[in-house]
Chain A
C-alpha cells in the first residue's frame, strides 16, 4: 500500500531521516516506533506529500506519489497537533474538512454523521471544539482524518495527552478501521500501544531504521528470553529461560516453590538492545 524507498531528509545540519526504506501492506496496522526526534513525524509528512524528500521516493501503490490531488483523496492524516478549529462546532469541523475532499449533499451528511458517531462525539456535535476536553479534541482530530473514507490513514501520536477512556476508544477505533480494510500507519512512543495494535513495527532512531518485523519476532530476536521469577525458601530466584513452564516444573521437582511469575520481554527491551538507551530517554 505504501512504499518508502531510501528516503532522506535534512533540515540544515540535522539529518531527520536517513536512508529509510519501508513497505506497508494493505489492511495492516504498521507502527513507527521511536523516541522524540527519531524522524517519525518527518517520515509521515513525506509519506503524505507534505515534505519533499531530499532523496528517495514515496509511492502509494497503484496511485503513485502523494503529490497530486487525486492521490491525496486516498490519504487521511491525524496530525500530532490538535488540528481542529476551536471556534467551530464538532460537526462544523468535520463537515468543513470533508467538504475539502469534494463530499457534498447526502454523502457529506452521511459521512459526517458516521465520523462523529465513530469517535463517540455525536451527542456533542453542536458544541464548539473549544468546549471539548483534550481527549474529545483528539477524537475529533481522528474524525476529521477519516471522514472522507481514505484508504491509507496516517496517525501521528494520536493518543498523546488523553485520558484512559479516550485512549481506549481511539485504540478501539483504529482496530475497527483495520477490520474495515483500511491501512494504518501509526506513530507512537508508547510501546504498550504498539504491542496491542500493530501487526508490524518499525523501530526508528535518529532517522534510521533499526529493525522492522512483527512485535513477536522483534522481541524474540532482540529482547532475550522471558525471565521466570520464583520465591524459594524466602529468597527470590530469577532465571532467564525460553521455556518458563519447563523451568518451573524442574524447580518444583527439587523442592517447594513459593510465589512465581514470568517477566515477558517487551519492545522497550528491544529498543534498549538496539540502541543502548531507554525509549523515553
Chain B
C-alpha cells in the first residue's frame, strides 16, 4: 500500500511540475469555462448584484419612492413585475428573490415610533441564506434612511406629527396622555425651528422596540428545470477539458516512463505489474478529482454555479474520474513513442470532445450529431455532471451516464493491462 502511495505521489508531483501539462489540466479548462460562460450569458447585469423581482401592492408615493431609492442601491438589480410573475421567476431561479411592498406600506412609512411598521414580503429559496441576509440589511437600511429624511425635512415631519396627534384621539387614555405630551412638545419644537434653515441636521434615532419596517421572509423552493446561468453549462465543459488534460498527460506518461527506462526500474522493484498499473490509474484518478474540485470551487465561489444535488454531482465526478482513468490506461498503449501516443491521444480525445459536447453544447448540435454523441464518453460525463448540477436527475437517472462511464473505464483498463508495454 505504501509503494502504491509512493507511485501516486510521484506521479502527482511530476504533473504539478510540468507547466505544459498544468496548462492543459487547469488553465485551459478554466479559460473554456469562463470565456464561453461570458459569451453565452444573455444580458447579464454587472456581476455581484442580487437580481430582484419587485411588486408594489401599495401603489402610493411612499412605496414608489422606496422602490426608487432601492433601485439606486449598488448591490441590487430590480425588475417590477406582478406577484405571480415574481414568484414564478424565483421558482425558476431567474431571480434571486422577490420583494413585495404590502398594502399600507406608504402610510406606515409616514408614521414614527408608533403603530404598525411598513411591511415587506421577501421570497427566496432557503439555500440563498447569504444573499437573503444581505438583502434584509439593504431593505432595513433603506427604511431607516426614510426616517432620517423625516427628521431633516421639517415640513414632512410637521405633517407627520399633526397627523399622529389626530390619530392619537382614538388611542387609550393613558397612551393619549403620554404620547400627546411628547407630540405637543415635538410640534412646538418643529414650529419654532421650521423657519430656521440653518438649523442643525436632524438626529436619527429610533425608539426602542419599534422598527420602521417589518420584513416577512417566505420560502420559495427553486425548481431547477434548467441552468441558472451560462456558467452552469460551461463549467461541466471546462471540467471535461481538465479531465481530458489529465487523461492525455497520464497516457503519455506511461510510454515516457518506458522510453526513459524508469518503467524498467519499477519492474525490477518488488512490485507486481498490477500494482504499477494501479498506481498510474490511481494517480490519474486523484488528479482528475483534484481538478474537478478546483474547477467546481471556482465555479461555485466566483460564478454562482450551484449543484442542485451535491451527492449526485460528486457521484458524476467520481464516475468521470474512474471512466477516464481507465480510458487513459487504454490510450497509453496505442503507440510506442511519447510523440505517437501524445498525438493519437489528443486526436482521439478531441474527437470524443467534439462529438460529446465538450466544444459545443449538445443542445446546439444538429440532430445527427446528437445521435452520434452517444458514442462519446465525453457526452456521458457532461450529462452526468449536468445531472447533478442543474438537470435535477434522480439517482436512477444518474445510473445510466455513470454506468456507461464505468464501463468505458473498465474496457480501457482491460485493454491497457492486456497491451501493457514490456520494458
Let me know if A84 and B262 touch, CB within 8 A: yes
Take A72-B269, A100-B269 as given contacts and tell me if A88 and B260 are in contact as well, using a CB distance cutoff of 8 Å.
no
Take A99-B2, A102-B3 as given contacts and tell me if A79 and B261 are in contact as well, using a CB distance cutoff of 8 Å.
yes
By beta carbon, the residue of chain A nearest B4 is A100
**Chain B neighbourhood of A83, CB < 8 A:** 260-262, 264-265
Interface centre among B14, B17, B268 (most CB of A within 10 A): B268
Contact with A along B387-400 (1 / 0, CB 8 A): 00000000000000
Let me know if A85 and B14 touch, CB within 8 A: yes
**Chain A neighbourhood of B265, CB < 8 A:** 77, 79, 83, 97, 144
User: Which residues in A have some Cβ–Cβ distance to B below 8 Å?
Assistant: 45, 48-51, 69-70, 72-73, 75, 77, 79-85, 87-88, 92, 96-97, 99-102, 104, 128, 144
By beta carbon, the residue of chain A nearest B271 is A100
Q: Give 6 nearest A-B pairs by CB, closest first.
A: A81-B261, A69-B270, A83-B261, A100-B269, A99-B6, A83-B265
Place the interface of chain B in its size category: 20 to 34
**Chain A neighbourhood of B264, CB < 8 A:** 50, 77, 79, 81, 83
Find residues 1-33 in chain B having any chain A CB closer than 8 Å to their own CB.
2-3, 6-7, 10, 13-14, 17-18
Let me know if B2 and A77 touch, CB within 8 A: no
Let me know if B268 and A50 touch, CB within 8 A: yes
**Chain A neighbourhood of B260, CB < 8 A:** 81-83
Take A88-B13, A104-B2 as given contacts and tell me if A70 and B261 are in contact as well, using a CB distance cutoff of 8 Å.
no
Take A45-B423, A72-B268 as given contacts and tell me if A85 and B262 are in contact as well, using a CB distance cutoff of 8 Å.
yes
Let me know if A100 and B14 touch, CB within 8 A: no
User: Which residues in B have some Cβ–Cβ distance to A below 8 Å?
Assistant: 2-3, 6-7, 10, 13-14, 17-18, 260-262, 264-272, 422-423
Interface of A is mostly: loop
By beta carbon, the residue of chain B nearest A66 is B268
Take A45-B423, A97-B265, A99-B6 as given contacts and tell me if A87 and B17 are in contact as well, using a CB distance cutoff of 8 Å.
yes
**Chain B neighbourhood of A88, CB < 8 A:** 10, 13-14, 17
By beta carbon, the residue of chain B nearest A103 is B2
Alpha-carbon separation in the docked complex, A45 to B17 (Å): 32
By beta carbon, the residue of chain B nearest A99 is B6
**Chain B neighbourhood of A84, CB < 8 A:** 262
Alpha-carbon separation in the docked complex, A100 to B268 (Å): 10
By beta carbon, the residue of chain B nearest A73 is B270
What are 19 A-B pairs with beta-carbon distances under 8 A?
A: A45-B423, A49-B268, A50-B267, A50-B423, A79-B264, A81-B261, A83-B264, A83-B265, A85-B14, A87-B13, A88-B17, A92-B13, A96-B10, A99-B2, A99-B3, A99-B6, A100-B7, A101-B270, A102-B270
Take A79-B265, A81-B261 as given contacts and tell me if A69 and B271 are in contact as well, using a CB distance cutoff of 8 Å.
yes
Interface centre among A51, A72, A82, A85 (most CB of B within 10 A): A85
Let me know if B2 and A87 touch, CB within 8 A: no
Alpha-carbon separation in the docked complex, A48 to B18 (Å): 32
Let me know if A100 and B423 touch, CB within 8 A: no
By beta carbon, the residue of chain B nearest A75 is B268
- Closest Cβ of chain A to B419, distance in Å, is 18
**Chain A neighbourhood of B2, CB < 8 A:** 99, 102, 104
Alpha-carbon separation in the docked complex, A72 to B269 (Å): 6
By beta carbon, the residue of chain A nearest B269 is A100
Interface centre among A49, A75, A82, A97 (most CB of B within 10 A): A97
**Chain B neighbourhood of A48, CB < 8 A:** 268
- Closest Cβ of chain A to B350, distance in Å, is 26
- Closest Cβ of chain B to A2, distance in Å, is 14
**Chain B neighbourhood of A70, CB < 8 A:** 270
Given pairs A50-B264, A50-B267, A79-B265, 9 additional interface contacts (CB within 8 A): A49-B268, A69-B270, A81-B261, A83-B260, A83-B265, A87-B13, A92-B10, A96-B10, A99-B3
- Closest Cβ of chain A to B266, distance in Å, is 7
By beta carbon, the residue of chain A nearest B423 is A50
**Chain A neighbourhood of B272, CB < 8 A:** 69
- Closest Cβ of chain B to A249, distance in Å, is 55
**Chain B neighbourhood of A49, CB < 8 A:** 268
By beta carbon, the residue of chain A nearest B267 is A50
Alpha-carbon separation in the docked complex, A73 to B269 (Å): 7
By beta carbon, the residue of chain B nearest A81 is B261
**Chain A neighbourhood of B268, CB < 8 A:** 48-50, 72, 75, 77
